[in-house]
């Protein structure tokens, strides 16, 4: 491998997009309104598009003649490095929007940093991604507000989702060894540097949405090291089904 750290760094970002895109893909045709269905599909499509750009680049860096699909579909669970937040299930629409918002705020800050990366390809992917992710954040943030400050029932449901998902937020700012190497080379973004900004922004919106900011000090982490929640295996069973059942074929 030419540059293992760069490869790992790209996957650390791309796997989040893949797994969240996959989760949103489950909802197609099952949303509360036609408009939210369209928006959810659209966000999923953006994320899968980003994933493809990252994996194509990662395959090139890897230099083993593999394709974007090899990387997407043919790894073992422990080799996916997405954060635990994005693999959490679509329990109800409050969870879907809560998960999205808690990720989008982070995602946009990351993209804004990555747009200045010393690596031109990553910078280009990020610049394109900024527009998409800004829209995602507006959409999910608006829904968190609507649900938080809507009816009593919706407030309870949105609060339940935020309380449950909050425990996965801290992991977003963990740095792996490859992250640190890439940061030192001016390629990677130091997510720990915008952690306070992230929590300030999220806190402000939750308050505006009439929601309590969870006070829990205990966080769950593991995705970045490939130690996932029990949901992940099922998600991968769907995702990998065709490639595993019919190996080495073109589609």
Partner 1 sequence: MSEKEIKSLEEIFEARIARDEKIEPKDWMPEKYRKTHIRQISQHAHSEIVGMLPEGNWITRAPSLRRKAALLAKVQDEAGHGLYLYAACETLGVSRDELFEQLHSGKAKYSSIFNYPTITWADMGAIGWLVDGAAIINQVPLCNTSFGPYARAMVRVCKEESFHQRQGFEIMLKLCNGTPEQKEMAQDALNRWWWPSLMMLGPTDAESIHTEQSMKWKLKRKTNDELRQQFIDQTVPQADVLGLTIPDPDLKWNEETGHYDFGEIDWDEFWQVVKGHGPCNKKRMKDRVSAWENGAWVRDAAMAYAEKQENKKVAKAS
Under the rule (CB under 8 A), what is the footprint of partner 1?
22, 25-26, 28-38, 41-42, 44-45, 48-49, 51-52, 55, 68-69, 72-73, 92-93, 145-147, 149-151, 153-154, 157, 238-239, 241-243, 246, 249-251
CA 90 and chain centroid, separation: 14
Comparing CB distances to partner 1, the nearer of 121 and 210 is: 210
Comparing CB distances to partner 1, the nearer of 200 and 238 is: 238
Q: Whole-number minimum distance, CB 57 to partner 1, in Å? A: 13
Q: Whole-number minimum distance, CB 40 to partner 1, in Å? A: 9
Query: How far apart are the C-alpha atoms of 12 and 179, rounded to whole Å?
Result: 9
Q: Whole-number minimum distance, CB 244 to partner 1, in Å? A: 10
Residue 203: closest CA among 97, 94, 84, 105: 105
33 burial via Cβ count (<10 Å: 0-12, 13-18, 19+): exposed
Comparing CB distances to partner 1, the nearer of 121 and 154 is: 154
Q: Whole-number minimum distance, CB 32 to partner 1, in Å? A: 2
Helix (H, G, I), strand (E, B) or coil at 81: coil
Comparing CB distances to partner 1, the nearer of 37 and 190 is: 37
Query: How far apart are the C-alpha atoms of 33 and 218, rounded to whole Å?
Result: 36
SS in 3 state form for 203-247?
HHHHHHCCCCCCCCCCCCCCHHHCCCCCHHHHHHHHHHHHHHHCC
Q: Whole-number minimum distance, CB 107 to partner 1, in Å? A: 19
Comparing CB distances to partner 1, the nearer of 68 and 190 is: 68
Query: How far apart are the C-alpha atoms of 130 and 110, rounded to whole Å?
Result: 9
């Amino acid at each position: 491998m030419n540059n293992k750290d760069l490869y790992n760094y790209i996957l650390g970002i791309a796997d989040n997009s893949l797994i969240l895109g996959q989760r949103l893909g489950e909802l197609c045709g099952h949303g509360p309104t036609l408009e939210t269905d369209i928006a959810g599909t659209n966000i999923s499509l953006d994320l899968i598009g980003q994933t493809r750009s990252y994996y194509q680049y990662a395959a090139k860096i890897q230099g083993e003649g593999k394709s974007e699909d090899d990387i997407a579909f043919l790894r073992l669970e422990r080799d996916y490095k997405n954060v635990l937040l994005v693999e959490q299930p679509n329990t109800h629409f409050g969870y879907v929007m809560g998960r999205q918002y808690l990720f989008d705020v982070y995602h946009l800050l990351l993209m804004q940093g990555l747009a200045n990366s010393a690596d031109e390809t990553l910078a280009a992917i990020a610049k394109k991604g900024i527009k998409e992710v800004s829209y995602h954040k507006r959409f999910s943030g608006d829904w968190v507000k609507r649900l938080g400050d809507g009816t009593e029932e919706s407030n309870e449901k949105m609060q339940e989702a935020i309380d449950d998902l909050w425990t996965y937020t801290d992991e977003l700012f963990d740095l792996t060894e490859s992250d640190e190497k890439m940061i030192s080379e001016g390629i990677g973004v130091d997510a720990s540097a915008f952690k306070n900004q992230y929590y300030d922004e999220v806190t402000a919106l939750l308050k505006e949405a009439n929601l309590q900011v969870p006070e829990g000090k205990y966080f769950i982490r593991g995705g970045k090291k490939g130690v996932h929640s029990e949901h992940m295996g099922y998600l991968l069973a769907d995702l990998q089904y065709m490639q595993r059942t019919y190996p080495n074929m073109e589609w």
